[in-house]
Structure 1
Amino acid sequence: MFSGLVREIAPIKDFKENKLYIQSPLRPKIGDSIAVNGACLTVIENKNDGFILELTHHTQEKIATENLQYQAHIEPALQMSDRFDGHFVQGHIDAIGEITQIKHHHNQSDFLIQVPSHITHLLIPKGSITIDGISLTISECTHNLLSLTLIPHTLKQTLFHTYKVGRRVNIETDMIVRSIAHILSCKKQNQWDQFDQITLGY
């Protein structure tokens, strides 16, 4: 489990076949989970200057692997003692979006991202979303587009300040919204009655 608050922007030393070599002062244990641009990966080897993670064929098909060349957002899995900010993030990429517009203003930057139609029902205005491992709030969403508003601090402290129109990004929708949508899609009876029963049970 992750929070969507990136702890490090790490250089990528090598990416060949299924192995991703990250340069970092972080010393994870073998088997630890690390989110790289939002994708949960497993540490398989430690090096003097970093660690190596493994990407399955399935993972490589689901993420924007072309962005694993120079630098990446890194977040170790949460520990029970960690302070929790951001939102609940699993590190499971739902789709790849594409930046179609960027507008920089005095105290904010607006990003417009085109998303695949199969996740549009999971996007809620003012709801949470994870883009390349960053926990963000959706400003607006219409049809196959979502907009994000980043404050200068977020822009500077992440790789977003390097992003250009046409860049593909990893998207993970909000886990709670996704879970509710799945439950409702599986119910053949009156779906809202079923939803009420579920929520009242907590």
Structure 2
Amino acid sequence: MFTGIIESTGQVESLQSIGGDLRIRVQTALDLSDVHLGDSIATNGICLTVVDWGSNWYAADVSKESLNRSTLASWRVGQTVNVEKAMLPTTRFGGHIVSGHVDTVGEITLLRQDARSVYFEVTAPAHVAKYLAEKGSVTIDGISLTINYLSGSILSLNVIPHTAERTNIVTWKVGTKVNIEVDVLARYIERLLLGDRAAEPEVKSGLSMEFLAENGFLK
């Protein structure tokens, strides 16, 4: 688990195709002295398992599922990425619960200065809009952010100077693709509302105003 508070940035050092998936190596100034084989490091919000490492780099294998769900398939050598080690029980919980399991890819459709902060809008795929809430938490490229407001599946967000300086936000521009992870609680609430229907094969969420009314959630 992670908090979405970025500890450092890194640069993609190599991308090696192995047996249909990928091995990635990231160079970083992050303190890796306490990292062990099998530890998790969120890289642009993707939970990656360390398979090799040195004093200033780590390597991880990336499955086809992660390549299909995230922006990783389009990464290039030299690209700047956000890096966070897995949280400890003693870690100050400054962000929100982040699993590192990317839900989908969004696109930055507006970016401008807003006083000292950076204001930007991210257009998410329509199917994840139901998991987003005004003033709720969302993870963008591993960064824990608060949604200002929503217009359909368009998220409005502000980033303070401190966050901008410590992340890869300076590389963003209109058209940049970003990883999105919704609040983990939203996923489980939807599943719980299905009740016994969740055990049915091929069942979709099925959530509608009619479903909610029939099951006592609306009057």
2:128 partner letter: I
SS in structure 2 of the partner of residue 192 of structure 1: coil
Match of 1:190 in 2: 215
Q: 1:131: how far off? A: 0.2
Q: How far apart in 2 are the matches of 1:157 and 1:45?
A: 25
2:63 pairs with one of 43, 48, 56: 56
TM superposition score normalised by structure 1: 0.89
Q: Which runs of 5+ in 1 are unaligned?
A: 194-202
1:160 pairs with one of 169, 173, 185: 169
Of 67-76 and 5-14, more deviation after overlay is shown by 67-76
1:192 partner letter: F
Q: 1:180: how far off? A: 1.0
Of 29-38 and 41-50, more deviation after overlay is shown by 41-50
Q: 1:187: how far off? A: 5.9
Q: How far apart in 1 are the matches of 2:7 and 2:89?
A: 17
Q: Report if aligned partners of 1:117, 1:144 keep a CA contact under 8 Å in 2.
A: yes
Match of 1:197 in 2: none
Q: Write out aligned runs for 1:1-202 (5 A).
A: 1-17=1-17, 18-24=22-28, 25-27=31-33, 28-65=35-72, 66-67=74-75, 69=77, 70-186=79-195, 190=215, 192=217
Runs of 4+ in 1 over 3 A off after TM superposition: 185-189
Of 149-158 and 118-127, more deviation after overlay is shown by 149-158
Q: 1:191: how far off? A: 5.4
Q: 1:67: how far off? A: 3.6
Match of 2:210 in 1: none
TM superposition score normalised by structure 2: 0.82
Q: Report if aligned partners of 2:32, 2:55 keep a CA contact under 8 Å in 1.
A: no
Q: 1:60: how far off? A: 0.8
2:24 partner letter: L
Q: How far apart in 2 are the matches of 1:140 and 1:187?
A: 34
Q: Report if aligned partners of 2:8, 2:166 keep a CA contact under 8 Å in 1.
A: no
Q: Report if aligned partners of 1:184, 1:191 keep a CA contact under 8 Å in 2.
A: no
Q: 1:186: how far off? A: 4.1
Q: How far apart in 2 are the matches of 1:187 and 1:108?
A: 46
Task: Give the count of matched residue pairs.
Answer: 193
Of 124-133 and 66-75, more deviation after overlay is shown by 66-75
Match of 1:200 in 2: none
